[in-house]
Amino acid sequence: MTDLWGLIVPIIVSVTLSLAAAAVISRSAASPAQAAYISALQGRLLVVEAARDDAELRIPKLEARIGALEERVHELQSAITEKDRELAGLYRRLDADERRLPRG
């Protein structure tokens, strides 16, 4: 254990000095840069929050529009089905009429 103290003491001293230097640097030199960075982040956050709020306000309108469009699509599909039935009936009548005509 006494042999390790020769290694442990310099490591403890260097870690302590590194932490102290980091604390001093973070309070003095980096402070204006950090303040500017935080200010820029806050400004961006405000922009993102505003965009989010706008999107949240549009969601109910878009959901209502989607509902109306889905209903219209259903109506159009029903109309297409009805037209297809009518067309098939007309083709059957045409075939029946052609069979009744004399061939000559």
Q: What is the pTM of this model?
A: 0.48
Domain ranges of the chain: 2-100
* DSSP-derived secondary structure letter, 29: T
Torsions phi, psi for 13 (to 5 deg): -65, -45
Residues 6+ apart with CB under 8 A from 34: 26
Token pair listed for 60: 């109910």
What is the distance between the alpha carbons of residues 92 and 81, in angstroms, rounded to a whole number?
A: 17
pLDDT tens for residues 86-101?
Answer: 999 999 999 998 888 8
Residues 6+ apart with CB under 8 A from 26: 34
Q: What is the pLDDT of residue 1?
A: 46
pLDDT tens for residues 25-59?
Answer: 666 655 677 778 778 888 888 888 888 888 888 89
